[in-house]
Structure 1
Amino acid sequence: MAISWEQSVTYSINTIYLLFSAYLVFVMQIGFAMLCAGSVRAKNAVNIMLTNVVDAVVGSISFYLFGFAFAFGHGPNSNPFIGTNFFALATIPNATYDYSFFLYQWAFAIAVAGITSGSIAERTQFSAYLVFSFFLTGFVYPVVAHWVWASDGWLSPSSSHLFLGSGAIDFAGSGVVHLVGAIAGLWGSVVEGPRVGRFDAFGKPVPLRGHNASLVVLGTFLLWFGWFGFNPGSFDKILVAYPSTSDQGNWTSIGRTAVVTTLAGSTAGIVTLFSRRLLIGHWDAIDVCNGLLGGFVAITSGCSVVEPWAAIVCGFVSAWVLIGLNMLAIKLNYDDPLEAAQLHGGCGAWGLIFTGLFAKEEFVIQAYDSGVTGVARPYGLLLGGGWSLIGAQVVELLVILGWVSVTMGPMFYALHKLKLLRITREDEVKGLDISTHGGYAYNHREEEYPQSYADYMRIRDDQ
């Protein structure tokens, strides 16, 4: 059927906007790679950068073959729990627009695997990355995305049958993306156990510092840049018809979303800066970067439906969530080199709860009803919106925790039993770069690296 010139312009602008947002989200892969490389020791730099590449290339195939259909499949073979139409991409009427949508959603999917990779860094067999990355991006994550983001998902705020009369608002994925990746990483790290030397014989923590703070800061800024595609870009149409008004798009909402994203991250960074100064006695750049990212993770759920002042509250609390969980991790002898489970899991969970407390009704209607007048929707509990929205948010949090645990937990345990998960103690001491990838990332003298566990113990005793 022929379309009008105006419709053609609208489709073109929406497609260009969505593709540009997809490119920004993909830039986050560069950010992840730099952040991870700087956060590990030099002897594992090649390995962690290669795993980031693997997340992208393996994720491309698994999401194309299976993931997109599970997430957004529709038709006679789909259902609100698992989309099962494996020809979803081919059956979408507007192919041009939806290929763009596929690319955008793929960029989200590979980000999930990147989060998990950080939790199990420096001690995992490379083959294990191939297995979990394929499974996570091809099945585990897409099912959650279907629940919350597909039009017929049982938790979707766009569904014709709203859960608790509200649906769960997770606009850009504090739960769908960040919490999923964090819970997967948590199970992987628990099954593997801490790195060699992370805790001494008495259970006291031994610092295993990353080798390059410059890469961490660079990665953080690249992630910040990419977040402007992650959050504002989740308005996948920049031009929409707003009934009963003269508005023709999401301009105000998109701009506000970018602002609240910046405010939440900045607040978390500032709070972390001064809090860690009081706790450890010096200004720490790495802690500030992680605090900043924690604020971004937390605001990702409610970025489209909260006021700027609420974003500051979000960032303030997220900083303390991260600090508290890091303290708890040390007490429990839990080892996560990138703080990924604490950062993406703890702050992602707080982001879901925050949205249920502070979502503004006007903004909820803008985001999910195109600004229709006369529509009533549940909104933030602390703003007088009742318990429906916060109830849906808690349910989303719990079902993600359960789903990822029953899928990824057994998978990591099976890899462990098959001796495919963790490298040997000797190889871990040498470093994955020389034991698995044939060389070092930097031109250090070879004698600077311990070649055996005995060498490692001798060097540590000398220090």
Structure 2
Amino acid sequence: MEVSWEMSVTDSINTIYLLFSAYLVFVMQLGFAMLCAGSVRAKNATNIMLTNVVDAVVGSLSYYLFGFAFAFGDGTNSNPFIGTQFFALKDIPTSSYDYTFFLYQWAFAIAVAGITSGSIAERTQFTSYLVFSFFLSGFVYPIVAHWVWSSSGWLNHGSSGLFGSGAIDFAGSGVVHLVGGIAGLWGSFIEGPRVGRFDAFGKPVAMRGHSAALVVLGTFLLWFGWFGFNPGSFDKILVSYPNATDQGNWTAIGRTAVTTALSGSTAGIVTLFSRRLLVGHWNALDVCNGVLGGFVAITSGCSVVEPWAAIICGFIAAWVLIGLNILALKLNFDDPLEATQLHGGCGAWGLIFTGLFAKEEFVIQAYGPGVSGVARPYGLFLSGGWGLLGAQVVELLAIVGWVSVTMGPLFYTLHKLRILRISVDDEIAGLDISSHGGYAYTTHQEDTGPRFYSEYVRIQNE
């Protein structure tokens, strides 16, 4: 009876911890909504907030009906894609914990669609949001999650993984952020820039978001949620480490939260001063994106690196974001939320960073010792060999390829069917008035659209 009671208490604590983490990750949807709303012009505020709601509600159904089975199923169920049979899958014990694990993984899935929504903001038909959100949450993202996080995935960091290692992507720099960023890249590229974003000579025209307050609020909500995103990925808090029965995951959870905070903070401060030198003034929006870029980058290796390494991660992540933003302007690439650069670029850097700085002790703590008598690869810069870095590069390339061959054709098909981008007149007037019946703010100047359109026509005719 004593053993049974202890197991019951352990399961209960693990379940409570994972549910709490799932709630934190779900709060990130509110953060995304506020960040996106503040980053777009006032005439599109209702539209971008509605798309964030749609990501959650559509993602719930698509991930339940298809995505969860694709991510963690082994195909042995008689009907593995429908209903509650999802909760009898290979990677998950049959208990109430099944539902907790599903909820946590669902919160991750809907975050991916939110990233992509930002890339195609202010010019996309609402119907297209419904289509790509369902497809991304139910099919594209879950396949990548299976590769890396399922025990049967070919990139899983198991005892006999790729290059004797498998990829380490603890909370999803690649699985979540790179997937969302590359999907956004194709959507934004196929749609083209917003009307007026670049003048007749190809020079960028500033289109500032309408509310710095909402951007800062969204950033802090995302920061708060990231403490569920990264430390919460220890889905069982009461687990003993190999060869250290007096320790459990709780000894690494605090360190994971610290590395997360340090990387984001470093990226934020570097972005703040760098942009000050580049543009001549302090910019709250830039520093907020810098902070998020640091969080995205550390998400892969947050559990397996020292705090000092997290500072290096954030420092370089800031320059990755700054450099990609400059390149985007030179290529006339228009991503209103910088989602492609931030989540795609910093997510890719995060995978490489883990291959360079993962510490052997922490890798064993988080993933086990591997094959008996065979050293498990760890960070190249810490004398861990090339195995882990090689697996990280393979994951990066596999994600870019998979998302490109799935989401690229999807966006192109929507474009050819003329249901991807709104008309020029509707774009000028704003999505709120053209698609949602009215502006988000009663003080919004309803003649802004026509006046801006007249100015746009004048510039194009010069």
Same fold (TM over 0.5): yes
| Equivalence map 1:79-90=2 (5 Å) | 87-90=85-88
Q: Which residue of 2 aligns with 1:442?
A: 441
Deviations 1:217-247 (A, max 9, x none): 0000000000000000000000013343332
Partner Cα separation in structure 1 for residue 457 and residue 169 of structure 2:
51
Contact 2:242 2:364 in 1 (8 A): no
Q: 1:350 to 1:454 in 2, by over 3 A?
A: closer
Partner Cα separation in structure 2 for residue 457 and residue 242 of structure 1:
63
| Matched AA of 1:136 | L
Q: Which residue of 2 aligns with 1:95?
A: 95
Q: State the percentage of identical aligned residues.
A: 79
Q: 1:273 to 1:161 in 2, by over 3 A?
A: same
Q: Which residue of 1 aligns with 2:263?
A: 264
Q: Which residue of 1 aligns with 2:28?
A: 28
Q: Which residue of 1 aligns with 2:56?
A: 56
Contact 1:199 1:206 in 2 (8 A): yes
Q: 1:430 to 1:3 in 2, by over 3 A?
A: farther
Q: Which residue of 1 aligns with 2:71?
A: 71
**2:450 maps to 1:457:** no
Q: 1:31 to 1:125 in 2, by over 3 A?
A: same
**2:225 maps to 1:197:** no
1:450 alignment partner, SS class:
helix
Partner Cα separation in structure 1 for residue 3 and residue 62 of structure 2:
34
Contact 1:357 1:382 in 2 (8 A): yes
With 94-103 and 332-341 compared, the bigger mean Cα shift is at 94-103
Q: Which residue of 2 aligns with 1:167?
A: 166
The alpha-carbon deviation at position 447 of structure 1 amounts to 4.0
Contact 2:177 2:343 in 1 (8 A): yes
| Matched AA of 1:267 | T
Q: Which residue of 2 aligns with 1:357?
A: 356
Partner Cα separation in structure 2 for residue 288 and residue 353 of structure 1:
23
Q: Which residue of 2 aligns with 1:304?
A: 303
| Matched AA of 1:316 | F
The alpha-carbon deviation at position 161 of structure 1 amounts to 3.3
Partner Cα separation in structure 1 for residue 242 and residue 361 of structure 2:
15
The alpha-carbon deviation at position 19 of structure 1 amounts to 0.2
| Matched AA of 1:49 | M
Q: Which residue of 1 aligns with 2:283?
A: 284
Q: 1:460 to 1:443 in 2, by over 3 A?
A: farther
**2:136 maps to 1:141:** no
Q: 1:295 to 1:74 in 2, by over 3 A?
A: same
Partner Cα separation in structure 1 for residue 334 and residue 259 of structure 2:
32
Q: 1:378 to 1:430 in 2, by over 3 A?
A: same
Contact 2:230 2:257 in 1 (8 A): yes
Q: 1:266 to 1:398 in 2, by over 3 A?
A: same
Q: Which residue of 2 aligns with 1:106?
A: 106
2:121 alignment partner, SS class:
coil
Q: Which residue of 1 aligns with 2:152?
A: 152
Contact 1:243 1:372 in 2 (8 A): no
| Matched AA of 2:323 | G
| Matched AA of 1:102 | F
Partner Cα separation in structure 1 for residue 39 and residue 408 of structure 2:
25
Contact 1:39 1:216 in 2 (8 A): yes
Partner Cα separation in structure 1 for residue 12 and residue 36 of structure 2:
37
| Matched AA of 2:304 | V
Q: 1:157 to 1:214 in 2, by over 3 A?
A: same
Partner Cα separation in structure 1 for residue 453 and residue 283 of structure 2:
33
**2:330 maps to 1:328:** no
The alpha-carbon deviation at position 460 of structure 1 amounts to 8.2
The alpha-carbon deviation at position 377 of structure 1 amounts to 1.0
| Equivalence map 1:107-126=2 (5 Å) | 107-126=107-126
| Matched AA of 2:366 | A
| Matched AA of 1:197 | G
The alpha-carbon deviation at position 428 of structure 1 amounts to 0.1
Contact 1:257 1:304 in 2 (8 A): yes
Q: Which residue of 2 aligns with 1:428?
A: 427
Q: Which residue of 2 aligns with 1:40?
A: 40
Partner Cα separation in structure 2 for residue 142 and residue 109 of structure 1:
8
With 314-323 and 160-169 compared, the bigger mean Cα shift is at 160-169
Deviations 1:366-402 (A, max 9, x none): 0011899977310000100000000000000000000
| Matched AA of 1:457 | Y
Q: 1:93 to 1:385 in 2, by over 3 A?
A: closer
1:451 alignment partner, SS class:
helix
Q: 1:175 to 1:338 in 2, by over 3 A?
A: same
Partner Cα separation in structure 2 for residue 10 and residue 182 of structure 1:
38
Deviations 1:275-316 (A, max 9, x none): 001000011100000000000000000000000000000000
Contact 1:44 1:122 in 2 (8 A): yes
1:246 alignment partner, SS class:
strand
Partner Cα separation in structure 2 for residue 245 and residue 331 of structure 1:
53
Q: Which residue of 2 aligns with 1:253?
A: 252
Q: Which residue of 2 aligns with 1:414?
A: 413
Deviations 1:33-53 (A, max 9, x none): 000000000000000000000
1:127 alignment partner, SS class:
helix
The alpha-carbon deviation at position 249 of structure 1 amounts to 1.6
With 109-118 and 93-102 compared, the bigger mean Cα shift is at 93-102
Contact 2:328 2:334 in 1 (8 A): yes
**Aligned alpha-carbon RMSD (Å):** 2.2
Partner Cα separation in structure 1 for residue 444 and residue 244 of structure 2:
69
| Equivalence map 1:6-25=2 (5 Å) | 6-25=6-25
| Matched AA of 1:412 | F
Deviations 1:425-453 (A, max 9, x none): 00000000000000010012544422377
Contact 2:321 2:342 in 1 (8 A): yes
Partner Cα separation in structure 1 for residue 69 and residue 237 of structure 2:
25
1:313 alignment partner, SS class:
helix
Contact 1:189 1:335 in 2 (8 A): yes
Q: Which residue of 2 aligns with 1:130?
A: 130
| Matched AA of 1:410 | P
Q: 1:445 to 1:128 in 2, by over 3 A?
A: closer
Contact 2:65 2:81 in 1 (8 A): no
| Matched AA of 1:165 | G
With 240-249 and 62-71 compared, the bigger mean Cα shift is at 240-249
Partner Cα separation in structure 1 for residue 34 and residue 234 of structure 2:
28
Normalised by the length of structure 1, the TM-score is 0.95
1:95 alignment partner, SS class:
coil
Partner Cα separation in structure 2 for residue 238 and residue 151 of structure 1:
19
| Matched AA of 1:242 | Y
Contact 2:166 2:391 in 1 (8 A): yes
Unmatched runs of 5 consecutive residues or more in structure 2: none
Count of paired positions: 456
| Matched AA of 2:117 | S
